[in-house]
Amino acid sequence: MRIEQIQSLDETDVARGLLRAPESVAAGYPSPAQDYQTAPINLSEYLIRDLNSTFLVRVSGDSMEGAGISDGDELIVDRSLTAGDMSVVIAILDGEMTVKRLRLINGGVVLQAENPSYPPIEVQELSELDIWGVVVKCIHNV
Amino acid sequence: MHPQRVADPTERAGRDFIGLIDVNSFYVSAERVFDPKLRDRPVVVLSNNDGCCVALSKEAKALGIPMGEPWFKLAASAARLNLVAKSSNYELYGQMSDRFISVLLDCTPEVAQYSIDEAFVKVRGTMSELLSWAKMVKDRLWKHLGLPVCVGIGRAKVLAKLSNRAAKKLDHLGGVCVWESVPERHGEQLLSNLPVDEVWGIAGRMAKRFNAMGIETIQQLRDADPVMIRDRFNIVMMRLVLELRGVPCLPFEEATEIKDQLIFSRSFSEPVTTRATMEQVLGIYAQRASARLQKHHRQAKVVTVWAMTSHFNADGAHGPSVTIKLPSATADPVILTRAVKAILPKIHEGVRYARAGVVVTDLRKTGLEPTFDVFADAHEDRGIGPLIESIRTKLDQPAIGLGAAGLKTGPAWEMRREMRSPRYTTHWDELPVVHAV
């Protein structure tokens, strides 16, 4: 059997209400918190300043332990920011994306690891450096 | 500087300009953002099933590789040429395209996306303001997204397109061009050197007709009598002539992004020969159709399903098709999946089908007409479609599906993407890796 058309009820909501019982019926004392309800915390809102220019990357290696960045952590990288002295940056070195601390001291440009076993890399000029983005947050796996 | 803030208010009236921004070799450029090793190397991106080149880097073009070249012809010499091929990474390109449009919207409120990597914008200002705005947009897209673009600005869409082409071809312009600021002598020289088929919207056959009446260059076309062009050709060609003269005739926004039908069809990487496999294929297409309809808030009233053998099939061609009228407009995956099964009795076991497709037509906005089909749609309100989509996005595409489409066991016919790079921006397990060494 197929019903092609039923026109007697024009309010669909009414029709649905007649055909189906509501799934739960609210009864009892109303929640005292109902006037205070707002949206739950949205992590993206707190961690990401600009959704368009922000990318996530994953760390491989332990050279940034001193900056609280461990192997396997995820980094939140904002490409729209301009790197300055002490910024943790993603730099392109030999075709690889590499995470380092940028130091601008006395006209010198240095990419530092935060682990004594890795030597710093000196660069002649900031313009020679290919900086992919600035690290703003680290998601550390505890 | 923002070109909408014009210093001299008298300049504001009638100073609307159209800009066209497009990403240079978009697919290749998107790959290069996350894989710096691909920079300066010849790179090609391949079509579905790794068939042929659909995007070429500048370096690949320099090797003389034509657009559309089949990969099997190049594979053997790739190593010698230092050539890299990538399967289409639609998840990545789609995401980068969305970001491209969002960044443009930060630069001007009026943006009309034209394709995955091109958008028209409306801008206002003096020549120098427009020029510095164009440079600002170019720099911002490069810094924020790592995408290289060209910006062309002109009084009309056709001029914006022409201007964009000049920005791309003439290195000294640095990737930006405002047509009206090009010195007249240079502009005229350019127009007298460019053949008519360089005009947006004029293709081979039309160009031949122009040539036959002595119109060889864009300059000659612009200077032709628009009324004569209308009489000899049509109103569309007359509009192009007027646009070349700086009179805007084309609407800024194209018609609605979603047309009156959606098509899902693919060639299989290997032929489908059983009814059971065909059911699985069509089930997946039906569910993709459902997802796309829901995304655009549309419902369909009619579904057409077809399958086809290869043109080169020695045993003779077979191409069954069925059109199903749905009881009411829907985007529900259960109903669509059920509907496409109507073709299965017409599928012959053992025949080698090379393509199949699902077309949904007679589309309307969701909720435009009340659905009252109690027997068929009882589950529809439970949001099965969006639920499936959210699971497929969170996990992986084959994580869940309805009926045979949910089977995990090897759909051998599925698209081949063997050289696909990680889906860097959409999948948690495929994030780009940065080295801490």
* Residue B255 CA neighbour count, 13 Å, CB half: 3
Of B202, B234, B236, B226, the closest CA to residue B216 belongs to: B202
A73 touches chain B (CB under 8 A): no
B39/A71 CB distance under 8 A: no
pLDDT reported for residue A17: 42
Q: Do B436 and A113 touch (CB under 8 A)?
A: yes
Task: Provide the pLDDT for residue A105.
Answer: 87
Does residue B57 or residue A22 have the better pLDDT?
B57
What confidence score (pLDDT) does residue B395 get? 63
Q: Return the percentage of chain B with pLDDT > 70, whole number.
A: 83
- Average pLDDT (B314-319) is 68
Model confidence at B39, pLDDT cuts 50, 70, 90, reads very high
Contact A60 B435 (CB under 8 A): yes
How far apart, in Å, are the Cα atoms of B176 and each of B135, B144, B153, B240, B323? 7, 18, 8, 23, 50
Which residue in the set A1, A60, A80 is minimally distant from B433, CB to CB? A60
At residue A14, the pLDDT reads 42
Give the one of B102, B144, B437 whose C-beta lies nearest to A63's C-beta: B437
Question: Measured between CA atoms, how close is B323 to chain A, in angstroms?
Answer: 19
Global pTM reads 0.71
Tokens of A67: 């900056």
Verify whether the Cβ–Cβ distance A97 to B437 is below 8 Å.
no
Q: What is the pLDDT of residues B153-193, one digit of tens each?
A: 999 999 999 999 999 988 899 999 999 999 999 999 999 99
Tens digit of each residue's pLDDT (9 = 90 or more) over B357-370: 888 888 888 766 55
ipTM: 0.77
CB contacts < 8 A (A, B): 88
- How far is residue B34's CA from residue A45's CA, in Å, rounded to a whole number? 24
- Check if A92 contacts B (Cβ < 8 Å): yes
pLDDT of residue A33: 78
Secondary element (H or E) of residue A136: strand A131-139
Q: Which of A87, A100, A127, A137 is catalytic?
A: A100
pLDDT in tens, B79-128: 999 999 999 998 899 999 999 999 999 999 889 988 889 999 999 999 99
pLDDT-derived band of residue B1, with 50, 70 and 90 as boundaries? Answer: very low
DSSP string, A75-102: EEEETTSPP-TT-EEEEEETTEEEEEEE
Query: Span B308-315, mean pLDDT?
Result: 66
When mean pLDDT is compared across A93-107, B220-234, B261-275, the lowest value belongs to B261-275
In the predicted structure, residue B316 carries a pLDDT above the cut 70: no
pLDDT for B5: 42
**B397, B420 contact by CB (below 8 A):** no
Q: Which residue has the higher pLDDT, B331 or A1?
A: B331
Q: Rounded to an integer, what distance in angstroms lies between the CA atom of residue A84 and that of residue A81? A: 9
Q: Do B103 and A113 touch (CB under 8 A)?
A: no
Check if A52 contacts B (Cβ < 8 Å): yes
Q: Which residues of B touch A75 (CB under 8 A)?
A: 434
What residues in B contact A55, CB-CB < 8 Å? 424-425, 432
A60 in reach of chain B (CB within 8 A): yes
Average pLDDT, chain A: 83
| Nearest residue on chain B to A7, alpha-carbon basis | B372
Give the position of tokens 């990487």. B269
Task: Check A19 against B431: CB less than 8 A apart.
Answer: no
Please say if the pLDDT value at position B13 is more than 50. Answer: no
Cβ-based contacts of A57 with chain B (< 8 Å): 431-434
Q: How far is A91 from chain B (nearest CA, A)?
A: 9
- pLDDT tens across A101-136, in order? 999 988 889 999 999 999 999 988 887 889 999 999
Rounded to whole angstroms, how far apart are CA atoms A98 and B81? 28
Which of A3, A52, A98 shows the shortest C-beta gap to B437? A98
Residue B413 has pLDDT above 50, yes or no: yes
Nearest CA in chain A to B369: A12
Q: Which residue carries 């061609």 as its tokens?
A: B317
| pLDDT of B374 over the 60 cut | no
- Strand partners of residue A76: A56, A137
Read off the amino acid at residue B8. Answer: D
More reliable by pLDDT, B244 or B50: B244
Q: Which of A19, A55, A71 sits opposite B374 (nearest CB)?
A: A19
Confidence of residue B3 (pLDDT cuts 50, 70, 90): very low
Are B431 and A58 within 8 A, CB to CB?
yes
Q: Looking at beta carbons, which residues of chain A come within 8 Å of B432? A: 55, 57-58, 97
CA–CA min distance B60, chain A (Å): 19
A137 annotated active-site: no
Distance from CA of B328 to the nearest CA of A (A): 9
Which residue in A has a C-alpha nearest to residue B428's C-alpha?
A: A56
Q: Which residues of B touch A (CB under 8 A)?
A: 36-37, 39, 99, 102-103, 106, 143-146, 327, 370-375, 424-425, 431-437
**Higher-pLDDT residue of B411, B273:** B273
* Whole-number pLDDT of residue A133: 97
Q: How many CA atoms lie within 13 A of B151 on its CB side?
A: 26
Residue in chain B nearest A2 by alpha carbon: B375
pLDDT at B412: 53
All residues of chain A having their beta carbon less than 8 Å from the beta carbon of residue B144 are 50, 52-53, 79-80
Residue of chain B nearest A6, judged by CA positions: B372
CB contact under 8 A, A51 and B102: yes
What is the predicted pLDDT for the residue at A19?
44
Whether B25 shows a pLDDT value over 60: the answer reads yes
Per-residue HEC secondary structure of B243-308 comes to HHCCCCCCCCCCCCCCCCEEEEEEEEEEEECCHHHHHHHHHHHHHHHHHHHHHCCEEEEEEEEEEE
Rounded to the nearest 5 percent, the helix, strand and coil shares of chain B are: 45, 20, 35
pLDDT category at B56 given cuts 50, 70, 90 is very high
Q: Kindly state the percentage of chain B with pLDDT values over 90.
A: 49
CB-based contact A97 B36, cutoff 8 Å:
yes
Sheet of strand B176-178, all strands in order from the earlier edge strand to the far edge: B111-115, B118-124, B16-23, B149-154, B176-178
Angle between helices B384-394 and B333-340 (to 10 degrees): 90
What is the DSSP pairing of strand A121-123 with strand A131-139?
Answer: unpaired
> Which listed residue (A63, A80, A87, A117) is catalytic?
A63
pLDDT at B43 over 90: yes
Q: Note whether A60 contacts B36, CB cutoff 8 Å.
A: no
Amino acid identity at B173: L
First to last CA, chain A: 61
Residue B117: count other Cβ atoms within 10 Å of its Cβ.
22
For the four alpha carbons of B383, B385, B386 and B391, in that order, the dihedral sign comes to positive
In chain B, what residues touch A52 (CB-CB under 8 Å)?
A: 99, 102-103, 106, 144-145
A75 touches chain B (CB under 8 A): yes
Strands, E assignment, B2-63: 16-23, 43-46, 53-56
